[in-house]
Chains A and B, each alone.
Chain A
Amino acid sequence: MKNTIKVERAKQNMTQQDLAEKIGVSRQTINSIESQKYIPSTVLALKIAKIFNTKVEEIFELEDDDFL
């Protein structure tokens, strides 16, 4: 599953640490989500979308192999 968190952070001049503190996770978790090593829970994805004032579907995108 792809995501555009890095782009959204850059738009708002936000560091990984800033985003992590706002949503209550560690900076490592944010890094893992951005590098697609960890898929966040629904709650976390919704929180991220709310921080960036956008929809979940605009940040996270399913890929073909997610359906396997």
Chain B
Amino acid sequence: MKQSQAINNTAAFFPNYFKKIGLGLIIIAIAIPLSAKFLKLEVTEVQKDFYKVLFFNVLILGLFFVAWSKDKFEDEMTMQIRMKAIGFTFMTSVFYIIFRPIIDLILQDPVTNMSAQELMIFMLFMYILFYKLQKRNA
């Protein structure tokens, strides 16, 4: 298959091998905090906040690499699927932001503001999910 004939605007995406790098970062971002919790490592509150931000950012970076890397072969159909996935992601994110406090109220949980990191993780995860589902159904 002639990769050189692939659609030109895929220059905006990371190369395909970045998917593996992203997956590695996601595993690190989940495994290390879980291991620390399991091993009951003692950290101060300040360190806890720092590590929380650090590992959230590593998770976001990993998800971003997975989401924004080229497939093995990109063409106009994959670009259209990407655009649809971005649209669905935006819509679900708006609904998530609006309805999450209401769900917190119903479940009698404390109603807190959503952090930017939480929203970004949600959006990236949704984008990857929508993209994979649409590609499977194409």
Hey, which bits of chain A sit against chain B, CB under 8 A?
20-21, 23-26, 28-29, 32, 37-38, 40-41, 44
Q: Is the CB of B80 within 8 A of A24?
A: no
Residues in A with CB closer than 8 Å to B135 are 28
Can you list 8 residue pairs at the A/B interface with Cβ under 8 Å? A20-B1, A24-B2, A24-B5, A25-B76, A25-B77, A29-B76, A37-B137, A44-B76
Smallest CB-CB separation from B3: which chain A residue?
A24
Contacts of A20 in B (CB 8 A): 1
Query: B75 and A25: CB pair below 8 A?
Result: yes
Please report the C-alpha to C-alpha distance between residue A21 and residue B135 in the assembled complex, in whole angstroms.
19
Whether A26 and B1, one on each chain, are in contact in the complex, defined by CB atoms closer than 8 angstroms, is yes
Q: What is the bound-complex CA distance between A20 and B76, given in angstroms?
A: 12
B98 → chain A closest CB, angstroms: 32
CA distance A20 to B2 in the complex (A): 10
Decide: A32 and B77 in contact? CB cutoff 8 A: yes
Query: A26 CA to B77 CA in the complex, in Å?
Result: 9
**Within the complex, what minimum Cβ distance (angstroms) separates A21 from chain B?**
6
- Residues from chain B with a CB closer than 8 A to the CB of A38 are 77, 80, 138
Q: B6 interface residue, CB < 8 Å from A?
A: yes
CA distance A41 to B80 in the complex (A): 11
Q: Are B76 and A32 in contact (CB under 8 A)?
A: no
Query: Nearest chain A CB to B40's CB is how many angstroms away?
Result: 48
Q: Which of B77, B78, B138 has the most CB of A within 10 A?
A: B77
